[in-house]
Amino acid sequence: MTEGRTSSGAQVDGPPRDADEVQAQDDAPTTPDAGTTQTDGTDESAEPGEHAGDDESGEDEEPSAAGAADAEPTADAEPTADAEPVADDAPGADDEARNDAGDGEVADAVAADDEEPDDDEPVTEAEPDDDEPAATDADTDTDADADATAEMAPVPPAPPAGPAAPAGEPAPVAEPAVAVAATPSTPADASGPQRTDRAGSPMDVFPAQPHRRTWPRALGITAAVVVVLGAVYVGALWLLGDRVPPGATVAGVDVGGLSADAAVARLDEELSSVVTEPFAVAVGEKRTTVDPEDAGLALDTRATVESLTGFGLEPGRLWRHAFGAGEVEPVTSVDAARLDRVVDEVSSALLTPAVDATLAFVDGEPVATASETGTELDPDTGPQALVDGWLTAARPLELPSRDVVPEVDDADADAALDALARPLVDAPVTVVVAEQRAELPVDVLAGAATFAPEDGALELRLDGDALAEAVIARTTDLLTPAQDASFAFEGGVPVVVPGVAGSTIDADALAESVAEAATGADRTARVELVEIDPEQSTAELEALGVTTRIAEFSTALTNDADRNHNLALGASRVNGSLLRPGDVFSLTDTIGPISTENGYRGAGVVVDGVLTKGVGGGLSQMGTTVYNVGFLAGLEDVEHRPHSYYFSRYPEGREATIYEGVLDVKIGNNTPHGVLLQSWVADGRLHVAAWSTPYWTVEHSTSGRSAVVRPKTVYNTSPGCIAQSAGSPGFRVTVTRRLLLEGVVQEEDSDTWRYEPQNAIVCGPPPSAAPEQTEAPEG
């Protein structure tokens, strides 16, 4: 398809027409024929016998120059400087539809959009001004055609002429495809009379030309405004980037309007004590405190301020600067490991445990106690709540909690009450054991009963030991006690005496049987005696390796019968004492208590350096003998103290005294074997021996006397004073012991002791002598 262009520059679609045809169309009469009624917005009626659209005349007339110019479509003509604004210049929805649709589509669209004028609105026809020259028909038609062409879609050509209409019948009226008022394009076009009704224009065969679109210019203006506003917006945010919005507060500290650095400095200064002070937290009624440092919580003032400052394009930033920021959440740095540890501690401190429903017997009757729901820190939300509120929340900081449901509720307790508690005390229970019968009364059953939670229910539990005691008390010689294995000396040599098994009641089996009987139809419980082994078995003693005498020591007896009696009694109690590896032997614990009730007699003791009489006198000789056995066997010297005076019956520096509750002799077993002590009195001597497996090699030595002091005479006014002559002098001595294993010294000890001189004792007061202070007696 080719394109044509009018003189005004508008393009039209379709093939170029013959010049004569165009001219004939342009010269169509503009005045209605006689007898024809012209209505605004409609075409003129055709003459009888003629078709509408065929009433053009003067095909051979030449159009005037002005008419030819005006005949061209002017829809796209540029307005002059004096042109009035054209209302239809801006593209509308109708124009868009006309421009985009085809020839027929546009006509339909325009016809649909153009409504008929209301009957109430006057229809005005353009009247020629008397002062202005009337436009020629060609001018008027050309203008109308041009305007119609600009406003209307092309209308198909009229159909060819047919037979004339019968006389007397009105000719059919040709209806236009659309009736649109012409809009002048320029002031020149607007002059002269205007027509509002005419027949279809010859230019209707040309497609309508679109209005010149103005939206690109509007879009450009809009874009420019957006750019300017954007620049202002960005510039404002840039200038305010280092400034805290007005009204901003952090943990009650006003930092609004400050620079970032100034805000950080103010927060550091005013919150320095707050961020390190322990604060109270609570769950329900429970309270505790949290140290922020221990919990790994610290205020990050720099990050807090940075959340309010800095450059960003978010609208909220400008909003805060315009209308104020208000309270701002502080930024907290968290040490997760330390927080977890403190949360565990806080959880324990704030826990209110649930209380299970319980059952108990009160005055022999079962009574249920209601359950209680507990509370605890919610492990899912509690830690975050601690982090969020540690600095700003009210005190105490209320942490989220959750319920702790009791394991046993009231319904469970009621069920146990009916199924267990009441049947238990309904009647006595008889226990049959070893052909004996013992009836357990209701009060015994109730006293032995407890109810414990088990898998969400209350379970009856009976104290088997209490029931066994009740059974034994109601029977005769029911049990046989077990006898432990022990050491005995036969022919002076230790041997193991085997233990003997005994019999007893299995307490657990008894409790189970009684519970079953108490809640069943037959209230009789049957149990069997069980055999029990001795606590110290034969095999255990044999494994200690007590086979060889590793040390022995003896001291001479005196002529004091009471003293010798005490030593013989003490020896019998030391004999058979067993020290397992690591054990410590105490002499006073073994032979005590030292009293007349325990068989001891009064004999000579040394008190304040004076020989007098006391219960258990002479037992210090037992201490000396035991100490020397431990010394020679290489056993550990845990405790010992020599006498104040030296007695010639003992080795110098290797002797000991005892006084119950004050002085003791203690030796420890520092070997991997058992040590068995043997003690007896024979042949005027006190003997002590140690049996074991040889382990240590012992070397010892005693130094000579030094710093010797001669005795003197002293006076004693005590009632039990015993006069004596002067004895040994005072001196200093050192005893050394070395312990060896396979020839290698493992330990070496040296003990130095100074003896006082043994003065002469005169019973009675010395001239002008003051009372002396009492010291611990020595045997």
Most confident of 102-106, 166-170, 307-311, 335-339: 335-339
Residue-level pLDDT at 144: 40
CA distance 518 to 425: 8
Residue 456 phi, psi (nearest 5): 80, 15
Q: pTM of the entire structure?
A: 0.49
Residue 751, Cβ neighbours under 10 Å: how many?
14
CA distance 186 to 180: 18
Residue 363, Cβ neighbours under 10 Å: how many?
7
Measured torsion, CA atoms of residues 254, 391, 262, 245, in degrees rounded to the nearest 10:
-50
- Residue 452: partners with Cβ closer than 8 Å, 6 or more residues away: 458, 459, 461
CA distance 28 to 468: 140
**pLDDT tens digit sequence for 514-569:** 999 998 888 999 999 999 999 999 999 999 999 999 999 999 999 999 999 999 99
The answer on pLDDT for 675 being more than 90 is: yes
Residue-level pLDDT at 610: 59
CA distance 470 to 438: 8
Residue-level pLDDT at 208: 56
Burial class (CB in 10 A: 0-12, 13-18, 19+), 235: exposed
Residue-level pLDDT at 149: 42
- Match 């110019």 to its residue by tokens: 69
Nearest Cα to Cα of residue 350 among 379, 376, 386: 376
Residue-level pLDDT at 613: 80
H/E segment holding residue 512 = helix 507-518
H/E segment holding residue 183 = none
Least confident among 161-165, 227-231, 311-315, 638-642: 161-165
Least confident among 4-13, 410-419, 527-536: 4-13
The answer on pLDDT for 37 being more than 80 is: no
Residue 195, both tokens: 């027509």
Q: Are 151 and 177 in contact (CB under 8 A)?
A: no
CA distance 683 to 116: 159
| Residue type present at position 13 | D
On the CB side of 738, how many CA atoms lie within 13 Å of its CA? 10
Residue-level pLDDT at 735: 98
Measured torsion, CA atoms of residues 494, 593, 620, 655, in degrees rounded to the nearest 10:
60
Residue-level pLDDT at 314: 62
The answer on pLDDT for 20 being more than 70 is: no
Residue-level pLDDT at 213: 67
- List the domain boundaries for the chain: 1-76+88-159+170-213, 221-405, 410-540, 545-763
- Angle of the 382-389 helix axis to the 336-350 helix axis, nearest 10: 110
**Would you mind telling me the total number of residues written for the chain in this entry?**
779
Q: What percent of the chain has pLDDT over 90?
A: 53
**pLDDT tens digit sequence for 221-271:** 888 788 876 676 665 554 445 688 888 888 888 888 788 888 899 988 888
Q: Check residues 164 and 451 and name the one with the higher pLDDT.
A: 451
Residue-level pLDDT at 27: 42
Q: Check residues 644 and 83 and name the one with the higher pLDDT.
A: 644
Strands (E), 382-433: 397-398, 401-404, 429-433
Q: Check residues 471 and 140 and name the one with the higher pLDDT.
A: 471
The answer on pLDDT for 154 being more than 50 is: no
Mean pLDDT of 644-651: 91
Nearest Cα to Cα of residue 138 among 203, 235, 232: 203
Mean pLDDT of 95-99: 43
The answer on pLDDT for 130 being more than 80 is: no
CA distance 448 to 460: 10
The answer on pLDDT for 53 being more than 90 is: no
How far does Cα 122 stand from its chain's mean position? 85
**pLDDT tens digit sequence for 327-357:** 888 999 999 999 999 999 999 999 999 999 9
Q: Are 755 and 728 in contact (CB under 8 A)?
A: yes
Sign of CA dihedral 604, 607, 610, 612: negative
Q: Decide the pairing of beta strands 327-328 and 249-250.
A: parallel
Q: What percent of the chain has pLDDT over 70?
A: 66
Q: Decide the pairing of beta strands 286-290 and 602-607.
A: unpaired
- Residue 532: strand pairing partners: 502
CA distance 117 to 83: 27
Q: Are 708 and 729 in contact (CB under 8 A)?
A: yes
Nearest Cα to Cα of residue 243 among 252, 253, 235, 255: 255
H/E segment holding residue 700 = strand 697-702
Residue-level pLDDT at 519: 87
CA distance 40 to 59: 27
Could you tell me the pLDDT band of residue 450, with boundaries at 50, 70 and 90?
Answer: very high
Give the chain's end-to-end CA distance (angstroms, integer). Answer: 150
Residue 718, both tokens: 């005590």
Q: Are 688 and 625 in contact (CB under 8 A)?
A: yes
**pLDDT tens digit sequence for 724-767:** 888 899 999 999 999 999 999 999 999 999 999 988 888 888 87
Residue-level pLDDT at 599: 96
Q: Are 451 and 359 in contact (CB under 8 A)?
A: yes
Residue 40, both tokens: 């605004």
How far does Cα 574 stand from its chain's mean position? 63
Residue-level pLDDT at 141: 44
Could you tell me the pLDDT band of residue 723, with boundaries at 50, 70 and 90?
Answer: confident
Mean pLDDT of 418-428: 94
Q: Are 75 and 44 in contact (CB under 8 A)?
A: no
- Residue 697: strand pairing partners: 740
Task: State the Cα angle at 486 between 481 and 491, rounded to 5°.
Answer: 135
Most confident of 81-95, 135-149, 167-181, 612-626: 612-626
CA distance 358 to 343: 32
- Match 């436009």 to its residue by tokens: 135
Q: Are 372 and 353 in contact (CB under 8 A)?
A: no
Question: Which CATH entry fits the domain spanning 410-540: 3.30.1460, 3.10.20, 3.40.1000, 3.40.50?
Answer: 3.10.20
Residue-level pLDDT at 245: 85
**Mapping DSSP to helix (H, G, I), strand (E, B) and coil, where does residue 422 land?**
helix
Residue-level pLDDT at 717: 85
DSSP, res 420: I
Mean pLDDT of 678-683: 97
Q: Decide the pairing of beta strands 697-702 and 730-741.
A: antiparallel
| Residue type present at position 732 | R
Nearest Cα to Cα of residue 541 among 485, 483, 493, 482: 485
- Match 């022999």 to its residue by tokens: 364
Residue 400, both tokens: 């989220």
Mean of per-residue pLDDT scores for the chain: 77
CA distance 585 to 664: 10
